[in-house]
Structure 1
């Protein structure tokens, strides 16, 4: 129980990646506060965590409501005598809007999609980080994780999505600059394609919409399980050299290599920085894939340069 005695907060944890993260944190021994807007799904997740022997405190909280956020952190301060070790900014309300607008250009979509994607998934992250940091700075330690994606580096889905994810990455880097001297780390984490409940229904189910192409189905078919990011976060939180990683944008495949993490069935996840994977994404070069060893990777700065705006 590597996180025994720790206090963690995972936003948007009633389903999806947040649920998987919360399950793994509680399984590692932490007391985990989880947030969501629906009482029924929150209670279901809390029950599952308790059945595994974990300690879970579900709190109805809307990440677009500033008072909800402040009240929750105050509750943690009272309950845990000011202790908060890990904040995972995961809450996100734009998934359905993204699927509904696939294939459309930004001028063809109601501009309110910006709010559905970024009020919860960006503004809410900032507010949670402000209030959580006050507890962490006071105790001289802590870890803040923004759940982001490769959409922060290259075009993915739509304009509001990419802008929001790029902002999450930059926010983690800039907050880390100000928190480093106080012993608090902050990173942005990129899970790969994850087999969430919605993905299993919309992409991997029997009645797949016409706009889901075969390549997307294959990508998610090899995707991470719901709890894989949680395993990586447990490893990160337990890392004795955590401060050496603060301010960075990290892929789950990076942490999987660092901590020797695999899926429950023994399968290694796809390494999105491997030359083998990158070649598989270029039809004219895909024939080279069988001849390239899996351990050859492209340095992250090369990925950044390839998408540079300068």
Structure 2
């Protein structure tokens, strides 16, 4: 119960990574407000939190509706006497559209996919951050986390997805510049391939679409559990050197190593910056991967430089 007394808000927590984060934060003792658009699914998450002995407040909230966001933050201010310690911007609405359009070029896709992907998963994050920051700045402490992905660094899925994730990373970095002096940290967190409910349905099922490449299916077959990111975020929230990390983009595999986080079933966590993993993704070189020590990693600045456009 190391986060006893904390007040947290996790958006998009009715399923997937958001649900896993809410379960872990509440398990650490925090009071967690969770949002979602579907009442039944949201209440299932809340029921699971309570079954584990945690404190959870489910709130129907559409991240594309500004009034919903403003009203929720005002409710937290009122109910928690102005306290909000942690915001996790996780809500996302474009997964089905992404998988429905796998393999298509941006000019072949209805341009409204931009709104499907980025209204909730980018614009909503900004609005939540603005209102949450007002509480955090007033109390002189807090942490804002944008859930993003490696799609912000290199091409993944489609143009709208990559632009949105790159913007989430940049948002976290730029907010950190303005929040640092007020004692509030802002970071972007990249989970790896996560075995969410949608992934199990759209990628790992036996009747998977032929548009899903075998390499993608293999990657998710060894993917992270729903709650790994939550375990990492609990460690991050309690980190005594948190302000040294503000503004950065952090991988869950790195956070897991930093905080000694393990998967409950004992399986290893894929280290996406390891030389072994990178070799395993190149068919001609995959045979070398088992012979490379697991501790050999490519420095993150090299990954950034490799994707630099300057």
Which TM-score band (shorter chain)? over 0.9
Matches within 5 A, 1:163-242: 163-242=163-242
Alpha-carbon shift at residue 231 of structure 1 (Å): 0.2
Q: 1:87 aligns to what SS in structure 2?
A: strand
- Alignment pair present for 1:308 and 2:305: no
Give the equivalent residue in structure 2 for 1:63.
Answer: 63
Q: 1:129 aligns to what SS in structure 2?
A: helix
Q: 1:57 aligns to what SS in structure 2?
A: strand
Alpha-carbon shift at residue 287 of structure 1 (Å): 2.1
Q: Provide the aligned C-alpha RMSD in A.
A: 0.6
Partners of 1:95 and 1:22 in 2: how far apart?
Answer: 20
In the comparison of the two structures, how many residue pairs are matched? 310
Alpha-carbon shift at residue 169 of structure 1 (Å): 0.2
Alpha-carbon shift at residue 43 of structure 1 (Å): 0.6
Alpha-carbon shift at residue 114 of structure 1 (Å): 0.3
Cα-to-partner distance string for 1:259-300 (whole Å, 9 max, x where unaligned): 011100222210000000011111222222122100000000
Structure 1 range deviating more: 284-293 or 168-177 = 284-293
User: Which 5+ residue runs of structure 1 have no aligned equivalent?
Assistant: none
Give the equivalent residue in structure 1 for 2:2.
Answer: 2
Matches within 5 A, 1:1-310: 1-310=1-310
Q: Normalising by structure 2, what TM-score?
A: 0.99
Cα-to-partner distance string for 1:202-252 (whole Å, 9 max, x where unaligned): 111122111112211110010000000000000000111110100000000
Partners of 2:220 and 2:167 in 1: how far apart?
Answer: 25
Partners of 2:111 and 2:211 in 1: how far apart?
Answer: 22
CA change 1:38–1:143 in 2 (3 A) is same
Cα pair 2:14 2:42 within 8 Å, conserved: yes
Alpha-carbon shift at residue 86 of structure 1 (Å): 0.3
Partners of 1:194 and 1:289 in 2: how far apart?
Answer: 22
Cα pair 2:215 2:281 within 8 Å, conserved: no
Runs of 4+ in structure 1 over 2 Å off = none
Structure 1 range deviating more: 220-229 or 259-268 = 259-268
Structure 1 range deviating more: 76-85 or 259-268 = 259-268
Q: 2:285 aligns to what SS in structure 1?
A: helix
Partners of 1:98 and 1:208 in 2: how far apart?
Answer: 14
Partners of 1:81 and 1:64 in 2: how far apart?
Answer: 26
Partners of 1:230 and 1:143 in 2: how far apart?
Answer: 14
User: Which 5+ residue runs of structure 2 have no aligned equivalent?
Assistant: none
Q: Normalising by structure 1, what TM-score?
A: 0.99
